[in-house]
């Protein structure tokens, strides 16, 4: 597989505060990376930095050979970044269908394919964003990122605060998007076993630096390592 993303010596944060220090890793096309760590270790900051929502103090980010760190957030979206932030950031005053068509770019992912993957959204396509449940808003946030037809999907805690039945539905969708459709993804999640099961590689952050890298399959079978790094063995 060809290399898709390369991060080298990355330092970034908010204003003068540096949160990430000398972060470096690479991701191949079609691979899924589980980005793990305790709360406050820099996971969201790394996702936000890839999307262009932080201040970068040093290093470089390259996506498909293009220098991403030199681009504004909207240019990164055009270059192939699909971002689902923790806040979801859907357009709550627009309908489900308008949310999707407002950002749609030409490619294999379109609103109809999103509706096929998330039948709940098809049933609510005329509903405003304010009329959706939290789980439905998360599905819409994922769908809106997909219709950008990105090269890399960034998911920041997509399962947070959702009912178990919705978690299972979203996990099936993420598995389809990454494993069946072959879209590369970086996923931040507080439930390591759930995400490691559908990921290829794993990176663990602590105090803004990478402290552990391994295949997702290997890390999943090492509960003692998970417990030491994350304080959770399951």
- Residue showing tokens 């060809």: 2
> What is the C-alpha separation between 213 and 22, in angstroms, rounded?
15
Q: Mind listing the pLDDT tens digit for each residue in 104-151?
A: 999 999 999 999 999 999 999 999 999 999 999 999 999 999 999 999
Given a cut of 60, whether residue 234 has pLDDT beyond it is no
Fold of 1-80+186-234: Rossmann fold (3.40.50)
| Helix boundaries (H) for 164-213 | 164-175, 192-196
> What is the C-alpha separation between 52 and 49, in angstroms, rounded?
5
Written as six digits, the tokens of 167 are 């978690």
**What's the whole-model pTM score?**
0.95
> Chain-wide mean pLDDT for the chain?
95
Residue 232 has a pLDDT of 62
Residue 34 carries which DSSP code? E
Return the bridge partners of 117, or none: none
Give domain limits for the chain: 1-80+186-234
Written as six digits, the tokens of 122 are 């098809």
* CB atoms closer than 10 angstroms to residue 78: 13
Q: Mind listing the pLDDT tens digit for each residue in 13-59?
A: 999 999 999 999 999 999 999 999 999 999 999 999 999 999 999 99
């Amino acid at each position: 597989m060809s290399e898709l993303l390369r991060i080298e010596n990355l330092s970034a944060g908010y204003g003068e505060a540096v949160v990430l220090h000398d972060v470096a890793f690479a991701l191949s096309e079609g691979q899924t990376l589980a980005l793990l760590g305790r709360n406050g270790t820099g996971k969201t900051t790394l996702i936000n930095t890839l999307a262009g929502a932080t201040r970068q103090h040093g290093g470089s980010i390259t996506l498909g050979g293009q220098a991403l760190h030199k681009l504004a957030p909207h240019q990164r979206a055009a270059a192939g970044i699909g971002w689902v932030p923790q806040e979801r950031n859907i357009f709550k005053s627009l309908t489900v269908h308008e949310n999707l068509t407002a950002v749609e770019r030409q490619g294999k992912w379109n609103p109809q394919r999103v509706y096929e993957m998330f039948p709940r959204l098809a049933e609510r396509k005329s509903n405003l964003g304010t009329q959706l449940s939290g789980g439905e808003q998360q599905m819409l946030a994922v769908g809106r990122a997909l219709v950008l037809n990105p090269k890399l999907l960034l998911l920041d805690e997509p399962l947070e605060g959702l009912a178990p039945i919705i978690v299972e539905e979203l996990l099936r969708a993420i598995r389809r998007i990454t494993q069946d459709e072959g879209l590369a993804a970086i996923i931040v999640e507080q439930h390591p076993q759930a995400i490691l099961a559908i990921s290829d590689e794993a990176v663990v952050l602590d105090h803004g630096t990478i402290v552990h890298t391994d295949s997702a399959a290997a890390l999943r079978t090492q509960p003692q390592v998970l417990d030491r790094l994350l304080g959770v063995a399951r």
